């Protein structure tokens, strides 16, 4: 998800996206721990997406 797309979302949508990404990160970490994760870079990408979402969410709440 690009930053321009993230900025267009409402606060409620941003919160939903953060929750969804955190759930995805948990699943990716679980897959990595049992050795079934094929794309290791997805963990890092998901963490960065969460950070972007939280940054925009903080900006909008101010």
Residue 62 has what pLDDT? 85
- Number of Cβ within 10 Å of residue 7's Cβ equals 12
Residue 1 has what pLDDT? 81
pLDDT digits (tens, 9 = 90+) for 25-59: 999 999 999 999 999 999 999 999 999 999 999 99
Residue 15 has what pLDDT? 96
Q: Which of 48, 1, 3 lies closest to 28, judged by CA?
A: 48
Write down the architecture of domain 3-61 according to CATH: Orthogonal Bundle (1.10)
- What is each CA distance from 29 to 4, 24, 48, in whole angstroms? 28, 9, 15
């Amino acid at each position: 998800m690009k930053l321009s797309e993230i900025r267009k979302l409402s606060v409620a949508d941003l919160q939903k996206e953060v929750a969804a990404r955190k759930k995805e990160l948990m699943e990716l970490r679980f897959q990595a721990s049992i050795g079934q994760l094929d794309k290791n870079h997805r963990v890092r990408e998901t963490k960065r997406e969460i950070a972007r979402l939280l940054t925009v969410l903080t900006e909008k709440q101010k």
